[in-house]
Amino acid sequence: MVSRWACGRCGFVAWTRDRSEMVDVTGSHLLAHDSDALSTSDFRVSWDCPYCATAKTTYDSGGAVAEFKRHLYEHVADRVADGTHVAERVNWDGVVRVDASAAGDEADALRTHFHAAAGLVVAVTPSPERLVRALDEALDAWPRRAVIVSTGEYDFEATPDVDFEGRNVEIVELDPRLSPAEVGETVSRILDDNHEPGERVSLEVSVFHQIVAAFDVERSVAFVRMLAARLADAGGVLQLYVDADADRNVATVLNLLDETIDLTVAVDDGQFVRRP
Ligand SMILES: [Zn+2]
Ligand SMILES: [Zn+2]
């Protein structure tokens, strides 16, 4: 679970794993809204709070900024909610675009955040060993059921410490020649076979770039819409890991999916930030 703060003046939302990180997150953000409140003259730094009558002047510029951020945080501290989950933003039902490279470590914090809170995890990933390792390191307990769908053969030697006997994990190898419709059908069947009523589903798609590269824009859009509709029946969150800057076609597909995507989140140094 994470702490959450939503700015009252714009659409900014941030989630941090530790509440103490919120001092800097909220302070920096509020300072950006009121950068005029901080000024420098004659080697002295002054700040003048836009929310109350407090003002300070000092020669210690670094200290002044930190103090001002903490002061701004105090104004919103009671609006920081603890024990929340990013998926609550979409009521555990919708499509979340994650602006992070699917293959990078940075997204693991968000991946494990979603998977830890679900009963059924279905992950379509090009690097199943990495996902298994990330889950095993981050989670206190594995989800009730995890089905990891991969385009390659699982290398059990890459995760020697993971005891598969004690985990309810299935590794499904996907034929790379399958069409998006067939991949969708495979995922749909997995949901049918494994979902228990009322259970939260976390569906990770970390092969979005491969799908867009292998198929045309239209079929890629249809694939995501079909998965989203399929998941809407079960109740769960679909996460699309994308790096729109890396691929022009991916950016085009994402534009067409604008109505389908309910929330866009970026991962920044272990913190999660909503993108407008
Ligand atoms: Zn704001
Ligand atoms: Zn103040």
In this prediction, residue 243 carries a pLDDT of 86
The predicted model gives 80-108 an average pLDDT of 92
pLDDT band at 247 (very low <50, low <70, confident <90, very high): confident
pLDDT beyond 80 at 244: no
Give the model confidence (pLDDT) of 139-162 as tens digits.
Answer: 988 999 999 999 888 888 888 888
Closest Cα partner for 85 from 272, 229, 267? 272
pLDDT band at 264 (very low <50, low <70, confident <90, very high): very high
Q: Reduced to 3 states, what is the DSSP secondary structure of residue 260?
A: coil
Q: Are residues 25 and 115 in the same domain?
A: no
Are the CB atoms for 223 and 215 separated by under 8 Å?
yes
Q: How high does pLDDT run on average in the chain?
A: 92
Q: Are residues 166 and 221 in the same domain?
A: yes
Are the CB atoms for 171 and 123 separated by under 8 Å?
no
Q: Which of 82, 107, 137 is the last residue of a domain?
A: 82
CATH number at residue 165: 3.40.50.11570
The ligand placed nearest to the CA atom of residue 76 is 2
Q: Are residues 78 and 92 in the same domain?
A: no
- Residue 63 C-alpha to ligand 2 middle, in angstroms? 17
pLDDT beyond 80 at 185: yes
Are the CB atoms for 127 and 151 separated by under 8 Å?
no
pLDDT beyond 80 at 25: yes
In this prediction, residue 269 carries a pLDDT of 83
Q: Are residues 265 and 168 in the same domain?
A: yes
Q: Are residues 42 and 96 in the same domain?
A: no
- Residue 8 C-alpha to ligand 1 middle, in angstroms? 6
Up-side HSE of residue 242: CA atoms within 13 Å toward CB?
27
How far is 138 from 108, CA to CA, in rounded Å? 9
The ligand placed nearest to the CA atom of residue 77 is 2
- Residue 269 C-alpha to ligand 2 middle, in angstroms? 28
pLDDT beyond 80 at 209: yes
The ligand placed nearest to the CA atom of residue 7 is 1
pLDDT beyond 90 at 66: yes
In this prediction, residue 16 carries a pLDDT of 97
Q: Are residues 105 and 52 in the same domain?
A: no
Are the CB atoms for 199 and 144 separated by under 8 Å?
yes
Are the CB atoms for 221 and 209 separated by under 8 Å?
no
Q: Reduced to 3 states, what is the DSSP secondary structure of residue 169?
A: strand
How many distinct structural domains can be found in the chain? 2
- Tokens 């279905």 sit at which residue? 122
Each residue of 227-265: b (16+ CB within 10 Å) or e? Answer: bbebbeebebbbbbbbbbeebeebeebbeebeebbbbbb
pLDDT band at 65 (very low <50, low <70, confident <90, very high): very high
Q: Are residues 93 and 69 in the same domain?
A: no
The predicted model gives 182-210 an average pLDDT of 92
Q: Which of 82, 101, 125 is the last residue of a domain?
A: 82
Are the CB atoms for 139 and 168 separated by under 8 Å?
no
How far is 90 from 20, CA to CA, in rounded Å? 25
Q: Which of 26, 51, 82 is the last residue of a domain?
A: 82
The predicted model gives 238-247 an average pLDDT of 88
- Residue 72 C-alpha to ligand 1 middle, in angstroms? 12
Q: Are residues 100 and 77 in the same domain?
A: no
- Residue 243 C-alpha to ligand 1 middle, in angstroms? 24
Structure tokens, 252: 């085009």
- Residue 27 C-alpha to ligand 1 middle, in angstroms? 11
Closest Cα partner for 194 from 163, 170, 178? 170
The ligand placed nearest to the CA atom of residue 72 is 2
Are the CB atoms for 45 and 58 separated by under 8 Å?
yes
Q: Are residues 105 and 59 in the same domain?
A: no
In this prediction, residue 204 carries a pLDDT of 96
- Residue 103 C-alpha to ligand 2 middle, in angstroms? 43
Domain hosting residue 25, numbered range: 2-82
- Residue 33 C-alpha to ligand 1 middle, in angstroms? 6
In this prediction, residue 245 carries a pLDDT of 80
